[in-house]
Every structure is written in structure tokens, then in C-alpha cells.
Structure 1
Amino acid sequence: MLHSIRLLAIGVLAIWLSGCVSSVLSVDTKATQPIPAALLAEMSQKSMSPSSPILIRIFKQESELEIWKQDRSGRYALLKTYPMCRWSGKLGPKTREGDRQAPEGFYHVTANMLNPTSQFHLSFDLGYPNRLESALGYTGDALMVHGACTSSGCYALTDDGVSEIYAVAREALKGRQQAFQVQAFPFRMTPQNMAKHRTDPNFSFWTDLKRGYDSFEVARRQPKISYCGQRYIIDTDFAGGEPTNPLAACPPAVSQPNPAIASRTQSDMQKIDNLASSGAALTAHFYVDGGMHPVFRDILRKSGEDALARRTSSLSAVPVSRPSAGLADPHTPGN
């Protein structure tokens, strides 16, 4: 009898101790949350699986992030578009630490670049500087896509938004995809937008980005990115394999992008020239310090920065970055 009581007491103590440990050492499960049921249903409807590859596109001017996912045909289809609450800097690439510029270019994100312990809920590192940017001497690190509504060179969504993106990326990287491509653009690379910025010093750089944009728009497959001649080269194979020095002249090409993609780019460039020469291009957007999707700007304008911070982050200590600039941008020169 005494032995039974002792065993019962030990069992109760073990249960009590395990309860203590789990409460004291509780694990934050935000990084392991499943893909929401509504998004899984959307995948199923579009013939996608949770483990199929993804590709992400970011557009500064529109303040939008898109997740594309490979369907059963092997082509990518749009899964969902997320409004971004904040990005900082101006249109154009990031070149140095502290310039507040959010990067533009082509990046590849592996599983070890997902950050489950981000100070802004969850995040993933873009991998800036990439090989080309490093060769050009560009500086900066830890350029992220994360939650909340604050940015100093990053792309900030809401906590809910980044949670969904994180879960989708995590499951894709658990599948057969070793890294997913992120394409970060100043704006949607339409002839109209390009013509608006025809005189911008970054126009040549943006023309290179547009070739990657056109490749994906036409083929709905991840473009192959190479680096040589101090620029991005899209969907080209070279004699002797991939160039190893992004600053050196490109070696002879043994294959070129498919004719449909080249035709799209050539046609759009002609439209850009026509729009610019006719004066039909509208006024370009300019920024003092980054942009904000209209849905968030409306909340900021009507309810104030504290209300926007509460709507976008579970952490009350994360304020909206430079809210006055968020309200002012984009602007036209002289205004």
C-alpha cells in the first residue's frame, strides 16, 4: 500500500514538473504554423501542391509582393498578392550600407536564410549583396522581407502577411526546391512605366531587369540569371560554362533567350521610345523615403501611426517608420 502511494506521488510530481517545464520553456511556434486552410484551398484549385516550387516578385512603386507557385504543368501561376506596408529609400538599387535603399535585382533564398527569431515577427534574408553587387563593391547586409511596418532598407509587410509567406516558402524548401528566386523591381516593367523614367540614371540597369521580367512574363518559368560584363544576363548559356567574374566581359554565347521573349523585349523597347518621343509618358513617381501601399496609407491618414502599428504588428513596441514620409510619398518634383 505504501509502495503504491509512493508511486502515485512520484507520478503526480512528474506530471507537475512536466507542466512547469512546458510553461517556463514554452516554444514560440510562429515559424511552424501550417499554411492557412484558405490558401491551401487556393493551391488545390490552381493545381499546386504545398511542396511545389515558388518564385517571389516585389514591386516598389506598387508596394506589392507576389507569390507565384509552380502548377502541374510545370509553369508558374500567381498564388497571391500581398500589400507591403513599408519600404524605404527611392526607386533604384541599393549600393551602400546606410543609404536606406531597399534592394533591386535577382536574389536566391535558401532554407538557412529563413529567420524564425526575427525582431519583426518572421523574416527571410534576400541575400544582398548578390554576386554581381559584391563584385561592384556594393555594401550592406541583413536586407529582409519581414513583418511590422518599419523599414531601413527592408521590405515590410504585416505580421499576418509575412506569416503566410514564410509558411509557403518553408514548405516549398522542404520539397524539391533548394532555393527560391526573388525578383525585386522598382515598378511593374511596362512600357508606360519605363517611359516615365526614361531619363533616370538607373534606366540602363532597369533595362537589364526588364529582360528578366519579360522572360518570366512570357515563359512563366524561372529565368536563368548569369553575371558578366558588370550586368545581369538572362537565359543565356556560355561557352565554357557560367562566367566566374561578374566584372569581366561575357564569354561567347552558345544559346540565347527564346525568340518569343526577345520579341517581347524588343517590342516593348520600341513602345518606350515612341512614348518618350511623343511626350505621351505621364509624370514619374519620386520618393523622399520609400512607399506604402494605399490601403495602409489610408489607415495612417485616417487613424494615425499608433493605429497602423497595431494593425500590422503584434509587437506594440514596433512603430511605423517615418510616417510623415509614408504620407507624403510618392510625390512630384516641386510639390
Structure 2
Amino acid sequence: MRLKHIAFALLVATALTGCNDTLDSASTDLTKVKNKVEQPLPAKIVADMQAKNMPRTSPIMIRIYKEEGKLEIWKAKADNRFDMIKSYDICAWSGKLGPKIKEGDRQAPEGFYSLTPAHLNPNSKYYLAINTGFPNRYDAANGRNGTNLMIHGACSSSGCYSMTDEQILEIYAFARDAFKGGQTAVQLQALPFRMTAENMARHRESEHYDFWKMIKVGYDNFEVTKRPPEVAVCGKKYTFNQQASGPVNAAAACPEMSTPPALVSALSSYNKTYDVAYEKAVGKLGTKIWYEPTEAERKAVVAAKRKGRELAYAPTGTSLEAGKLMSQSEFQAMMEKRMAAGQPKPATTQLASTSTAPRPATAAERMKQDRLPTASTPQAATPTVETAQGKTSAVPVPEQNPLAYAAPAAPVSEAKKPFWKFWDKQ
């Protein structure tokens, strides 16, 4: 009898270890998958979609957060707004926070990317793969280069976002079903972290802060509207939900642009709440310093997960698990110890000192900097909607979903495209 109990305990332990190895965010038994390309989504996910009033083939959007190590699938509901349907723990990503600059830098991309059916790779040697679309128009205009940057399986990364095979099987199925429903382009938002006031304050001394402020405008647009923003590139910068008075060229100066009045109003309300939270976060940080860990330090945190697995399985963990806030004295002591050992100061160290912290921009200043002009026309009363920052004015939603497949009745010039029509060319 005792042997039976021991055997049962070992069986349970093995099952739990399996969940841990797959990061507990996918549940398909790969040994029972006969056709990975056409494998249907698990019944649990289908039931969750039905509960959220999401058609099975409605459009999706993908959101990635490097620091938290998360990949989220957002899906359109019947009311054309998007809601999160599944969150996955990213198994491995290489490099550090910040965008990819050049081939071989081991950086995973950051920015806004457009994924078409051609980006799906059913024959990947990493089980299944989805090309991120890097470099996009912004990357190309800024001289950034690199090839084969993917979201794929195998849990091993060299500049990609790598998932377990079980996870990529589901992610691939989400994209496949959306394309079958007529979606022509899935928006990928690859972000350094959740762009909250607290996180922006913690990373405000980063060399990438200006880039992050720019892509945060797109992040904010989605938070307010719960619709993937219309993305364009001009003047070597991203623009979001902007109506252009003329042709838009990635490398050329931006034409005169405007923002729909209701969106200006909603973002203004959102940013006022952000400003208060940002100032509070800066005060709370005081003289604390955030130490951004290296990839090796992230791997060390999750080294135990590799036991009993194939050599290719190499989870990297999250920056939040391996990084930490430190006092000035603790940081100085660590740097002196590293220098004594002949190690260079890590380039990923982020300082969060109030002595050099810039005054947080007001909502009006940020809107001007990010090409969000103040509306001059009277504002009509609009309903309110709950967002991550509280209640704010809702942006009018068109009848057609901007990512749904709907061929235009007649060719439409670039300058006359409807504002909410998502641009496939990115």
C-alpha cells in the first residue's frame, strides 16, 4: 500500500513539473496532435470566447511585454472592441530591454508590426513560427536591420520571442482562425513593459526613454479605445490615429496632421490621470536605483526548470524576477566589486534618482510633443468607458471593425482612406 502511495506522489510531482516546464499557460498534449497547422483551439479557450461574445474567427491583436515576460492575445468582441482572451509566459527572449538595432545584436524587436498570413511559417524547425515583420517602415527609415525575427516554439531564443511548443500551437491557431475569418493584418505591439506611470518612472533614465515615450502613444491609444491604433511612419517616427493632409512617407517630414476631437478629449483625460500617477511614482522611488539584469542573470533565476529537459530548452526568466531596486550605496558597492573583478559596468543599469529627474510633462505638453493637436472644434457629449486608468470619454466606434476583412467597393486614394481603416502596409 505504501508503495502505491509513493507511486501516486511521484506521478503528481511529475505532472506538476510538466506544468512548470510549459510555464502553465498551455495545456495541449503534443503527442495527440495529428496536424499542428490545423489543430483547433482547446475547448476551454473556445468556451471563454463564447462567454466574452467573441466570434471564433474575429480579429486578434498580439501584445508582448519583455520585462514581465508576457505575450497576450486580444480578440475582437461582437461590439468591435478588443478584450484579452489569453496570456502566455514567454519562455525565452534574448538581449535586454530596448529595440533591435542591427543584425547579430541578439535583441528582440520593440515597436508596432503588421503580421499577414505570409508571416505564418508552418514548416519552422522551431515547431511553428510567426515572423514579427521586423524591420518595418520605422526600422528601415532609421537604418535598423535584422532577419528572421520570430515568435516561435522550442523555448530557445537569439533575438526572437520563443515560446514552448504547446504555447505556439495555440498562438498560431489564434492567428490562423482570424485570417480565415478575413482579417488581413494582425497588429503586434512589442513593448518593453506595461507602459504604466510607475514603470515609465522607474525607467526614465534609460537611453531608450525617448523611443519608449513615442511608442507609448500607441499604447495609450489602445488603452483608451480598446481598438488597435492606425499606425503610420513619417519623419522617421511613429504616428498613431492621425489624419494626414497629404502623402505620408517614412523618411520624409510629416505632413500636417490632426486628431479626431473625441480622441483628443479622451487622451487628455487619460494623460491627466497619468501625470498624477507619474509624479507620485517618482516621489516613491526617491533615490532608489533599478538594476536591470543581464540575460545570464535572468537565466540563472530559472536554471532549475532546465533539469530533465532537452538541451534546446533554455528559459530566460523575466527582468522583474532577476532585477531589483537598490540603494545608492548598494549599487556603488556592486559596481566596485565588478570593476575589481575586471567586469565592465552593465549597460542595462537604469538610474532612478530624483536629483536628475526631469519634470514630468503635462498632458498638454505631451500631446504637442507627440503630434496630438488640441481640437479647436466644440466637443459633443460622449459616453464614458472604463479603461486601465479609470473612466474616460469613449471614442466613437465605426460599424465595421478596422481589422475585419472588407474589400472596398472602389479604389480609395491613400489621402482619402477612412480614419479607422487599419493600414496593411507597415
- Report the TM-score when normalising by structure 1: 0.80
1:3-29 residue CA offsets vs partner (Å, 9 max, x unmatched): xxxxxxxxxxxxxxxxxxxxxxxx972
Q: 1:30 to 1:324 in 2, by over 3 A?
A: closer
1:70-85 equivalences under 5 Å are 70-85=76-91
C-alpha contact 2:57 2:181 (8 A) present in aligned 1: yes
Q: Is the 8 A contact 1:289 1:329 kept in 2?
A: no
Partner in structure 1 of residue 253 of structure 2: 249
Choose which of 280, 290, 293 in structure 2 pairs with 1:284. 290
| CA spacing shift, 1:248–1:157, aligned 2, 3 Å | same
Q: 1:115 maps to which residue?
A: 121
**Aligned partner of 1:235 among 241, 245, 255:** 241
Residues 260-302 of structure 1 show CA distances to partners (whole Å, capped at 9, x for unaligned) of 1243235424543453366448643513228869xx955x33x
**Map of 1:313 onto structure 2:** none
- Mapping of 1:288-303 within 5 angstroms? 288-289=294-295, 298=302, 300-301=303-304
Q: After superposing the two structures, state which structure 1 stretch, 262-271 or 52-61, moved more.
A: 262-271
CA contact (8 A) 2:201 2:282 kept: yes
Output the amino acid matched with 1:145: I
Further displaced range: 250-259 or 55-64 = 250-259
Q: Give structure 2 stretches of 5+ with no counterpart.
A: 1-32, 326-330, 336-426
- Say which of 31, 34, 37 aligns to 1:31: 37
Q: Match for residue 318 of structure 1? A: 312
Unaligned runs of 5+ in 1: 1-26, 311-315
Conserved 8 A contact 1:88-1:291:
no
Equivalent residue, structure 1, for 2:393: none
Aligned residues of 1:196 and 1:282 also touching (Cα < 8 A): no
Alignment length (residue pairs): 294
Shift of the alpha carbon at 1:320? 1.5
Of stretches 215-224 and 324-333 in structure 1, the one that deviates more from structure 2 is: 324-333
- The residue number in structure 1 matching 2:228 is 222
How far apart are the structure 1 equivalents of 2:166 and 2:322?
A: 24
How far apart are residue 249 of structure 1 and its match? Answer: 2.1
1:5-62 CA deviation, whole Å, 9 max, x = no partner?
Answer: xxxxxxxxxxxxxxxxxxxxxx972111111111111111110112100001000010
| Aligned-partner Cα distance in 1 for 2:280–2:229 | 28
Deviation, structure 1 residue 85: 1.0
Aligned counterparts of 2:318 and 2:76: Cα–Cα separation in 1 = 37
Instruction: Give the letter aligned to residue 318 of structure 1.
Output: A
Corresponding position: 1:136 with 2:142: yes
Which whole-Å CA distance do the structure 1 matches of 2:178 and 2:297 have between them?
29
Preserved CA contact (<8 Å) 2:74 2:86: yes
8 Å contact kept, 2:291–2:324? yes
Which residue is equivalent to 1:47? 53
Pick the aligned partner of 1:197 from 198, 203, 225.
203
| Shift in Å, 1:252 | 0.5
CA distance in 1, matches of 2:166, 2:240: 34
Identify the residue that residue 347 of structure 2 maps to in structure 1.
Answer: none
Shift in CA distance, 253/290, structure 1 to aligned 2, threshold 3 Å: farther
2:63 and 2:188 in contact (8 A); partners too: yes
* Residues 275, 317 of structure 1: alpha-carbon distance in 2 compared, 3 angstrom cutoff: closer
Partners of 1:201 and 1:327 lie apart in 2 by 19
Pick the structure with more helix per residue: 1
Task: Give the match for residue 100 of structure 2.
Answer: 94
- Output the CA distance in 2 between the equivalents of 1:108 and 1:46: 25
Q: Secondary structure at the match of 1:124?
A: strand
Counterpart Cα distance in 2 of 1:275 and 1:255: 29
How far is 1:218 from its partner?
A: 1.3
Partner deviation per Cα, 1:180-213 (whole Å, 9 max, x = no partner): 0000110000000000111111111101111111
1:305 and 2:343 equivalent?
no
Partners of 2:293 and 2:319 within 8 A in 1: no
Q: Pick from 176, 188, 191 the counterpart of residue 185 of structure 1.
A: 191
Matched residue type, 1:162:
I
- What amino acid is the match of 1:209? I
Offset of 1:69 from its aligned partner? 0.3
Find the residue that maps to 1:78 and give its secondary structure. strand
| 8 Å contact from structure 1 (residues 65, 83) kept in 2 | yes
Q: 1:121 to 1:297 in 2, by over 3 A?
A: farther
* Residue identity matched to 2:126: F
TM-score normalised by the chain length of structure 2: 0.64
